[in-house]
Structure 1
Amino acid sequence: MNAPEFPILRSSSDAQPQNETLLRKALTTMSKAKRAEVMQAAGWKDESSITQVLNGNAGIKLEQLDAVLGAFGMAIVEQWYMDYLARGNAIGASCCRARLSQGTCGAH
């Protein structure tokens, strides 16, 4: 399975510039095939729509957001979920018993 092209977007207020940067990068660096896929997903008729979004002269309607993000394999998730995943990864990576296939941490 291939890794996603872009990381998952986060919904916290401090991550908003990151979300914009990720989507802007995706819209700027996409291939012609991906450009056609995004335009179809968003219901845009021509490439000027993408240019207008990138220049700040137009936005992505909420009805289009899921389709545009989906075309890039992106998703917006809540901060608590990302924190949960990070905590689980830290616990798992720190558990010497689990790493040695000796059961769960704390087991005797």
Structure 2
Amino acid sequence: MGVDVQLPVKRYLSRDEAAAWLGVCVDTFMSLDIPFVDFGPRCKRWDTVDIEAYAEQNKAHNSARTSAQQKGRQTCVSTNAKTPLSGGLIGQTRKVADTAKALGLTIKS
């Protein structure tokens, strides 16, 4: 049995909405280099699945040891945030199962 979870009202968020959803200022959000969808002039939107995936990839543990995953990251001087050198998730193909997993949903067969 799957858990009934309500999906977000909007899947694609504006820059301000995406920053607010993460709880960071717009400048910090823009420095994260999360991929966006270009719907036209002055109409960039960020997919909540990409935002969740970025956050999941960048979770940190309170540990004195440097994990292998944290090696190869560079620290942003203004925010002290760590970002991957690869530049994000561009080029990944999302499937229904990936979307459900990122949102914490269970797919019923």
TM-score (structure 1 length as normaliser): 0.27
Highest CA radius of gyration, 1 or 2?
1
Q: Write 1 or 2 for the structure with the bigger share of helix.
A: 1
TM-score (structure 2 length as normaliser): 0.26
